[in-house]
Amino acid sequence: MNVMLTTDGRETSATHGSYIKIRDMILTGELPAGQKLKIEELRSLLNTGASPVREALSLLTSDMLVERMDQRGFRAAPVGKANFAEILLLRCALEETALRASIAQADASWEEQLVLAHHRMQRAQGRDIQDFEQTHKAFHMALLKSHAMPMLERYCSQLYDLNIRYRYLAADGPSYRERSIEAEHREIFEAALDRDADAATARLLEHYRRTGDYLSQQLDH
């Protein structure tokens, strides 16, 4: 059989492997927004059959990274300022809810996971963008991690990913990391450790809105 391996060497199904790879290609822009996604091309690109590819595309449809046109195949979801603005607004609404719920039920284990995630993100600061991305997302998700709300976490994770695309789109401008991102993260982190829900959410939303303004401006070029 065609065994597919993830980056860490674990086996996965062809479907899951295709899902991860196609998703990555869309997020990074390797598959540009709006582009037709032909089964045959992806099939040969990923060295797999048509069924896993179709199934992966179906899954990506729910993540809103791929659009399905009935009887006319699939395409990478288009991007635009309106879409970006909606993502930002939804993230603010949902992450505020999630962060408050998270802090409300915070315990020692939650706190330790958060400390770890923050540390790893700092360590990854200098390394390549891929490494940083991963730890950055892990930190933000650790903030929102509450045992009670799996669906909310899923929505936040989806929206985080949708947002990544726009960072790649704006990547040719001055790096967004030149801002005081590090300080902003630490302030959110400390407010969360203090269980100060108001301060933590205020800083988190400010963090998103600043990044949002910057990216939105880049989109004009």
Residues of this chain that bind a second copy (CB under 8 A): 12-13, 16, 51, 54-55, 58-59, 61-64, 70-71, 82-83, 86-87, 89-90, 93-94, 97, 148-152, 154-155
3-state secondary structure of 216: helix
Q: Pick what 3 binds: DNA, a second copy, none; C-beta below 5 to 8 Å, kind-dependent.
A: DNA
From DNA, a second copy, none, interface partner of 39 (C-beta below 5 to 8 A by class): DNA
CB-nearer residue toward a second copy: 70 or 128: 70
Rounded CA-CA distance 91/221 in Å is 24
Which of 126, 44, 38 has the alpha carbon at shortest distance from 75?
A: 38
CA distance 95 to 146: 12
Regarding 48 and contact with DNA (CB under 7 A), the answer is: yes
Q: Compute the least distance from the CB of residue 35 to a second copy, in Å.
A: 20
Task: Enumerate residues 6+ apart whose C-beta is below 8 A from 168.
Answer: 27, 28, 29
Which residues sit opposite 11 in a β-bridge? 5
**Is residue 6 part of the contact set for DNA (CB under 7 A)?**
no
| Nearest distance in Å: CB 6, a second copy | 12
Q: Assess 2 for contact with DNA (CB under 7 A).
A: yes
Residue 52 is a binding residue for DNA (CB under 7 A): yes
Task: Count residues binding DNA (CB under 7 A).
Answer: 27
Q: What is the DSSP string of 3-40?
A: -EE-TTS-EE-HHHHHHHHHHHHHHHTSS-TT-EE-HH
Binding of DNA by 50 (CB under 7 A): yes
